Structure 1
Amino acid sequence: MASLTSDFEATCKVSIIIPALNEAAYLERTLRHLSLLQPPAHEVIVVDGGSRDETVAIAQALTKQPAPHFPLQVISSEQAGRAIQMNLGAAQASGDYLCFLHADTYVPDDLVSVIAQTLADPGVSCGGFISIMSGNLTTRWGVILNNYLKTYYAPLLFRPHLFFGKGLRLLFGDQVMFCRRADFQTCNGFDPAQPILEEADLCLKLCRLGRIRQVNRVVQASDRRVAGWGPVKANAIYFMVGFLWGLGVPGERLKRFYEDVR
């Protein structure tokens, strides 16, 4: 059985999609982390939303080097917006599984195996990780705990019928969400009109096809937003935006509380 599982993981075709906008400070390191994956990704697709820094040049330079050891594509989106960019990357992808990764987030080297093992269960439609948010000298334990628990308490509070009946859990962007490409297409992907919490919106659709699972593994995300806002303001904004979203406030109105930090 172990050898069969290993063979399946080795042939599991995972397409990693990275939406990027002015990510020159982080993108090269993220891509080099992906070159260490064992088994390797089927492909990595960077979707640029109109960067004004060296993001595109950095990604394109890596496509011409012997490493990373995976097919790396760089495509441009006419419009910026994570939902729009990730949909474009998913349309370009040829893998059986889609993994959506932020440009400032680092994943474990057995990412492909974790995805394969999680989605080998036909009752699971989507998965994500526990996000560890940290900077050079700081680990944001309070934010980490709240974000971990939010995966459970947000759907329990606002969609209890789906929490208990369909196994709904809400995953957010820094948790490295993954799903089957066929299920993503069935759900019509991310809502391009959602400027924020597009992953949570997709979870609401995917849970009708199977349970959402937060796997007991971690990824490391940059704390730049918390560092820019300060931890008290950041937690207040995260809580307020999540609460208002749960009450049905449109994403366009929520976005004004969630300015970009680069």
Structure 2
Amino acid sequence: MLSIVIPTLNAEATLAATLHAVHAAAPPVLEVLVVDGGSTDQTRRVAADHGAVFVSSEPGRGRQLAMGAERAAGPWLLFLHADTVLPTEWADAVSRFITNDANQGRAAYFRLSFDDASGAARRVAGLANWRGEVWGLPYGDQGLLIHRDFYQEVGGFRADQALMEDVDIVRRIGPMRLKRLPYAVVTSGERYRRDGWWLRPARNLACLTLYMLGAPKAWVERLYR
């Protein structure tokens, strides 16, 4: 059975679509946990309207994800962003993965696409998919499916990791133990539309480079924001 963990902070604008897609299929879902970092909007109401368990947390995505994993009851965990919509085929892809015993020591993620039909959006998604496939560095927007035992073996999400928590955990998993599922999630391109389809990826790459070089977390967070 599967527990889905969704970290939120003022996510009322996107959370409903995310939760609707979760329930649109017939997967082996045991529970959906919305782990909230102090929202002041209607995130709690949206979660309740869609039958999700609402968990309050201190803010910080690493901390929220770690708390969700701790509270989750299922042997399999799917970590999902609040602005990411699963494909209609997601339940089949997940079921195939989790019923293969060999995958208890592996993790999986989805291909990436944006809610934007522009060529720039397709290019950014293509580069992200290439990075995940070649470098073994998918981002949290693509979801992360992992067995609880393997999650604990690699050390899980780190509560002090407010940013780059996704990169941190997949580096510990390692590219040889990551599998890309054959379907694409649709994630919000709002940050890219706001900052620019060239500038935002450039800033993301700069953040990744600084992080990989061991720069202070404050530098990375300042550049990302």
Contact 1:37 / 1:109 at 8 angstroms: preserved in 2?
Answer: yes
Q: Pick from 145, 148, 152: which aligns with 1:181?
A: 148
Q: Pick from 22, 27, 35: which aligns with 1:47?
A: 35
Q: Pick from 146, 159, 162: which aligns with 2:127?
A: 146
Matched to 2:70, the amino acid is A
- SS of 2:158 mapped into structure 1: coil
Gaps (5+ residues) in structure 1?
A: 1-12, 64-71, 156-168
Kindly tell me: are residues 180 and 252 of structure 1, through their superposed partners in 2, closer, same or farther at Cα, counting changes over 3 Å?
farther
Separation in 1, partners of 2:25, 2:71: 21
- SS of 1:240 mapped into structure 2: helix
Matched to 1:177, the amino acid is L
Gaps (5+ residues) in structure 2?
A: none
Cross-structure match for 2:86:
107
Separation in 2, partners of 1:170, 1:230: 22
How far the C-alpha of 1:40 sits from its partner, in A, is 4.4
Indicate the percent of aligned positions where both proteins have the same amino acid. 30
Kindly tell me: are residues 254 and 90 of structure 1, through their superposed partners in 2, closer, same or farther at Cα, counting changes over 3 Å?
same
- SS of 1:102 mapped into structure 2: coil
Cross-structure match for 1:59:
47
Please list, as runs of the form range in 1=range in 2, the aligned pairs for 1:107-126 lying within 5 A after superposition. Answer: 107-119=86-98, 120=100, 122=102, 124-126=105-107
How far the C-alpha of 1:237 sits from its partner, in A, is 0.8
Bigger Cα displacement from structure 2, 36-45 vs 21-30: 36-45
Q: Pick from 47, 67, 74: which aligns with 1:95?
A: 74
Radius of gyration: which is bigger? 1
- SS of 1:18 mapped into structure 2: strand
Q: Pick from 145, 148, 160: which aligns with 1:193?
A: 160
Kindly tell me: are residues 251 and 111 of structure 1, through their superposed partners in 2, closer, same or farther at Cα, counting changes over 3 Å?
farther
Cross-structure match for 2:113:
132
TM-score, normalised via structure 1 length:
0.78
Matched to 1:221, the amino acid is T
Contact 1:125 / 1:207 at 8 angstroms: preserved in 2?
Answer: no
The structure with more helix, counted as a fraction of residues: 2
How far the C-alpha of 1:250 sits from its partner, in A, is 3.8
Contact 2:28 / 2:95 at 8 angstroms: preserved in 1?
Answer: no
Contact 1:41 / 1:112 at 8 angstroms: preserved in 2?
Answer: no
Separation in 2, partners of 1:133, 1:21: 20
Matched to 1:73, the amino acid is V
Contact 1:130 / 1:215 at 8 angstroms: preserved in 2?
Answer: yes
How far the C-alpha of 1:50 sits from its partner, in A, is 0.2
Please list, as runs of the form range in 1=range in 2, the aligned pairs for 1:1-262 lying within 5 A after superposition. Answer: 13-63=1-51, 72-77=52-57, 79-119=58-98, 120=100, 122=102, 124-135=105-116, 138=118, 140-153=121-134, 155=135, 169-207=136-174, 211-259=177-225
CA offsets, 1:101-159, max 9 Å, x none?
Answer: 11111102332332232342526511101110124x64611211111112245x3xxxx
Bigger Cα displacement from structure 2, 174-183 vs 189-198: 189-198
Kindly tell me: are residues 250 and 151 of structure 1, through their superposed partners in 2, closer, same or farther at Cα, counting changes over 3 Å?
farther
| Structure 1 vs Structure 2 CA RMSD | 1.9
Separation in 1, partners of 2:102, 2:211: 29
Contact 1:39 / 1:110 at 8 angstroms: preserved in 2?
Answer: no
Contact 1:90 / 1:98 at 8 angstroms: preserved in 2?
Answer: yes
CA offsets, 1:31-50, max 9 Å, x none?
Answer: 11211122242211001110
Contact 2:21 / 2:85 at 8 angstroms: preserved in 1?
Answer: yes
Separation in 1, partners of 2:201, 2:172: 27
How far the C-alpha of 1:249 sits from its partner, in A, is 2.3
